[in-house]
Amino acid sequence: MFKKEEAVKGFKWSAIEKWGGSLISFAIFIVLARLLEPESFGLVAMASVFIAFVSLFLDQGFQEAIIQRSDLAEEHLDTAFWSNMCFGSLMTVCGLLSAKYIALLYREPRLAPIVSYLSLSFLFTGLSSTQKAILTRRLEFKHLAVRSLVSKLAGGLVGIGCALKGLGVWSLVYQQLIASALSFLLLWRVSGWHPKLYFSYTHFRDLFVFGISMIGHKIVNFIDTRSDDFIIAYFLGPTVLGYYRVAYRIFQVLNSLIVGVVSTVALPIFSSLQKDTEKLEQIFDQGSRFLSILSFPVFIFIILMGTEIIQVVFGNIWEPSAPVMKVLAFAGVLHVILTYNGTLIISQGKPVQLLKIRIFSTIITVLSYLVAVRWGIVAVALAFVIVRYLLIAPMHFRLLHQISGMGIRARIFQYRYAGAASLGFLITILCIKYYAHNLMNNYWLLLVSIITGFAVYAISLQKFFPQTWVEIVDYAGLALKS
């Protein structure tokens, strides 16, 4: 049963995990970007395409199945753990054996040892994914937050230390391995659950029926979201990919800070309200409204001030990343509108329909990348926005209406609050940039724009949408007390 206090508490700790972890990772990322060359980031990005693809199969979709299932038994958990452990071990061996072939595919011999070392993370993931699913199902995000913050900080410090010693690309490799290993150890310590030596084909089948659809969705989603890395690396090389990945990393951090928090909490909450349609629609609308209010001005600010941000934060060497970042920030605004749609569809046990849309989207996306790459990374980013968010978005809304009965117009109407307040925010930033860009350097220009722009945004919400402002303050108060 849905409880407002538990949801707010889950959101609070999910926010601490996502925001704290993302801020720690991003701060470390900034330091490493000033210590390492773009080529180092490009090499790890090339290896990460393989690592991320194999990671899709590690828990066979069991993590989502455990969260979503209403009649979960202890036998399901034991079966899931041993399946994941065996598969994680198998994938580690496969990674070690296939590393040289991955390097041959990219025509980059330096990749082989990088892929070999990073493959060790498969084992750590296989040993801890069941514990993570249990904590998520219980909305015990405090433990997940502590685990994430500690592991990312430790891995980051190791990476910075290695970079200062001149280890180059291996600084990024050791950073990821330390973070993955420590995350596994901490999850075992805080989960409070340990497996028994038990495996059941019946319980495996229960989880696999739901999980296989999730795997299919993840595979298609992976190709849709990571094929750009592969195509850029193959045709343009690791240095250009490094510029692209820095811009995309900023996009990912913002999504994690803003969208990732609510998505993590939303799946177990939506799943618990499967039979209460009226309450589900109410929570869905309120969550969409709050998410857009939180995110719209952030992405708009990136679009307007992207070049200044890159110059100030990363240095002039990374300036080719700026136009890509601006294009992806526009995608961020559209991504917010679609965020809850997929989560709600999965929570209703209907991942197959979503998978069909993703398959179509993937085919069009990959073809668009192959065409766009000849014009560079900005063209690839534009192809990503046009296909994924402008062509495919209407299909998501139609599917949402078919499954839940929620009207499309009513869903879009929830974004009017953020849209209206963002208009004043946009005008404020444009005026500051136009009149003050010759009066101060980029550091002060960013600072003045942030303070003034977000102050105008908050005042606009409070003045023109007082009821929504009161709801935001109410939830913030609950979060502080919980």
- DSSP-assigned letters across all residues of 148-188: HHHHHHHHHHHHHHHHHTT-TTHHHHHHHHHHHHHHHHHHH
Q: Which two tokens stand for residue 218?
A: 């993840």
* Alpha-carbon span 328 to 366, nearest angstrom: 17
Position 8 pLDDT exceeds 60: no
Which residues make Cβ contacts (< 8 Å) with residue 268, sequence separation at least 6? 10, 67, 136, 137, 139
Mean pLDDT of the chain: 79
Reported confidence tier of residue 266, pLDDT bands at 50, 70, 90? low
* Residue pLDDT, tens place only, 208-223: 766 666 676 677 778 8
Q: How far is CA 207 from CA 75, 76, 352, in A?
A: 11, 7, 15
Q: What is the mean pLDDT of residues 349-366?
A: 76
480 located within any domain:
no
Angle at 338 between CA 333 and CA 342, to 5 degrees: 150
Above 80 in pLDDT, residue 369?
Answer: yes
In which residue are the tokens 């995608």 written? 331
Task: Give helix 38-55 / helix 170-190 axis angle, nearest 10°.
Answer: 40
Query: Is the distance from CB of 292 to CB of 275 less than 8 angstroms?
Result: no
pLDDT at 367: 93
For residue 399, the one-letter residue type is L
Query: Mean pLDDT across the stretch 382-410?
Result: 74
**Lowest pLDDT segment from 164-173, 231-240, 391-400:** 391-400
Contacts of 369 (CB under 8 A, 6+ apart): 227, 228, 231, 380, 383, 384
Task: State pLDDT tens for residues 139-156.
Answer: 666 667 777 788 889 999
Rounded distance, CA 459 to CA 424, Å?
10
* pLDDT reported for residue 348: 62
- Decide if 446 is inside a domain: no
Please enumerate in sequence order all residues whose Cβ is within 8 A of that of 117, keeping only pairs 6 or more positions apart, or say none.
Answer: 173, 177
**What does the pLDDT read at residue 290?**
75
* Rounded-to-integer distance, Cα 21 and Cα 197, Å: 34
Is residue 32 scored above 80 in pLDDT? yes
Number of continuous H segments (helices) and E segments (strands) in the chain: 21, 0
Across 86-100, 138-152, 203-217, 449-463, least confident range: 203-217
**Does 273 score more than 70 pLDDT?**
no
Mean of pLDDT values over 401-409:
64
Lowest mean pLDDT among 1-10, 53-62, 295-304: 1-10
Closest of 337, 257, 225 to residue 16, by C-alpha: 257
Q: Residue 140 falls within a domain, yes or no?
A: yes
252 phi-psi bin (left φ>0, alpha ψ -120 to 50, beta other): alpha
Quote the pLDDT of residue 213.
64
- Biggest distance spanned by C-alpha atoms of the chain: 70
pLDDT of res. 161: 95
Q: Once rounded to an integer, what is the mean pLDDT over residues 253-270?
A: 64
- Output DSSP code: residue 374: G
Q: Which of the given ranges, 6-10, 292-296, 458-462, has the highest pLDDT on average? A: 458-462
**Within a domain: 116:** yes
Of 285 and 244, more confident: 244
Q: 63 and 133 in contact (C-beta within 8 Å)?
A: yes
Retrieve residue 386's tokens. Answer: 């046009």
Would you say 50 and 97 are in contact if contact means Cβ atoms under 8 Å apart? no
Residue 315: the pLDDT is 85
Question: How far apart, in whole angstroms, are the C-alpha atoms of residue 426 and residue 43?
Answer: 37
Per-residue pLDDT averaged across 98-119, rounded?
91
Task: Evaluate whether residue 166 is within a structural domain.
Answer: yes
Q: How many domains are there within the chain?
A: 1
Closest among 38, 13, 29, 11 to 252, alpha carbons compared: 29
> Is pLDDT above 80 for 397?
no
CB 284 within 8 A of CB 338: no
> Is residue 374 very low, low, confident or very high in pLDDT (cuts 50, 70, 90)?
very high
- 72 domain-assigned: yes
Q: State mean pLDDT over 406-422.
A: 71
pLDDT score for 2: 44
Domain that holds residue 327: 4-414
Burial (Cβ within 10 Å: 0-12, 13-18, ≥19) of residue 202: exposed
Which H or E element spans position 223?
helix 201-236
Q: What is the DSSP string of 311-344?
A: HHHT-GGGGGGHHHHHHHHHHHHHHHHHHHHHHH
DSSP letter, residue 259: I
Which region among 89-103, 149-163, 202-216, 268-282 has the lowest average model confidence (pLDDT)? 268-282
What average pLDDT does this structure show over 13-25?
A: 71
Residue 421, domain member (yes or no): no
pLDDT at residue number 1: 46
Predicted confidence at residue 204, as pLDDT, reads: 74
Mean pLDDT to the nearest integer, 130-143: 71
Average pLDDT over residues 24-32: 88
Give residue 407's pLDDT.
61
- The dihedral through the CA atoms of 101, 103, 105, 107 has a sign that is negative
- 123 versus 348: the higher-pLDDT residue is 123
Predicted confidence (pLDDT) at residue 388 exceeds the cutoff of 70: yes
**CA-closest candidate to residue 171, choices 43, 20, 51:** 43
* pTM of the predicted model as reported, rounded to 2 decimal places: 0.74
Least confident residue range of 227-231, 319-323, 393-397, 430-434: 393-397
What does the radius of gyration of the chain's CA atoms come to, in whole angstroms? 22
Instruction: Average the pLDDT over 119-123 and give the result.
Output: 89
Lowest mean pLDDT among 116-130, 233-247, 254-268: 254-268
- What does the angle CA 52 – CA 89 – CA 135 come to, to the nearest 5 degrees? 70
Instruction: For tokens 């749609």, name the residue.
Output: 341
Confidence at 346, pLDDT banded by 50, 70, 90:
low
Question: Is residue 435 included in any domain, yes or no?
Answer: no
